[in-house]
Amino acid sequence: MTTLAVKLISDKRKLYAWASALALITIFYNIAEGLVSVLFGLEDGSMSLFSFGLDSFVEVVSGIGIWHMVRRIKQEGAEKPDRFEQHALRITGTAFFVLTAGLILTSVVEIYRGHKPENTFWGIVISIISILSMGLLLRAKGKVGRTLNSSAILADAACSRACLQLSIVLLIASAGYKLTGIGGLDSIGAFVIGGFCYREGKEAFAKARAGSFTCSCEEGCPSHGRKKS
């Protein structure tokens, strides 16, 4: 084996180790984010922050499946999901659909009741932190995924992009209420997050059926169209 070949194998192993570390960072970040968001969401009566926290918990299940797959690819080189990973995708999809139904129903009821949160300060703080964190993770995962030409790692980057979009929704809802005092904005934010949950649930089941972590969407995913980093 030539020196160049040995170096390429070594570089590839380092990249997969970095991809595995990024997946783990995402898992633990989502756990922390979910706990803080649910806690402050309940305390402040902010539906959008509470629903954002629940979404983070569901993302943990998906993240574990991707982390497991990245580790397995590093050892075996196979990108097709095994039974554990497909099961994780189905659990994720089911959880997202249940969350969608709960959020949309609750949002409609709260809009009708004229619910107003006590405060949305923490929603603003958490959303800004999440936007910065997910932006960095998205960039790092996209770079590693493109270098390795790995659909699994690019799918992980797509999950970070979805989290980034949810964070923007939370920021708009929280800052909007803070500036205007219109309570419906918080409930509308939760409603929109519910819509995102439906999309992510549908995507999870599509991946489980296809036996691939590759995104089925045509735009907005790192593995399709323009490469966003």
Domain boundaries, the chain: 11-210
Q: How far apart are CA 144 and CA 101, in angstroms?
A: 35
Whole-prediction pTM? 0.80
**Rounded to 5°, angle at Cα 212 from 58 and 29:** 30
Taking the domain 11-210, which CATH number applies?
Answer: 1.20.1510
Q: How far apart are CA 65 and CA 169, in angstroms?
A: 26
Q: What is the pLDDT of residues 170-190, one digit of tens each?
A: 999 999 999 998 888 999 999
pLDDT exceeding 70 applies to what percent of the chain?
85
Q: What is the pLDDT of residues 33-81, one digit of tens each?
A: 999 999 999 999 999 999 999 989 988 887 888 888 778 777 776 666 6
Given this model, what pLDDT does residue 1 score?
53
Contact 189, 174 (CB under 8 A): yes
Q: How far apart are CA 111 and CA 115, in angstroms?
A: 6
Given this model, what pLDDT does residue 212 score?
67
Residues 119-146, mean pLDDT to the nearest whole number: 93
Helix-helix angle 47-76:121-148, to 10 degrees: 20
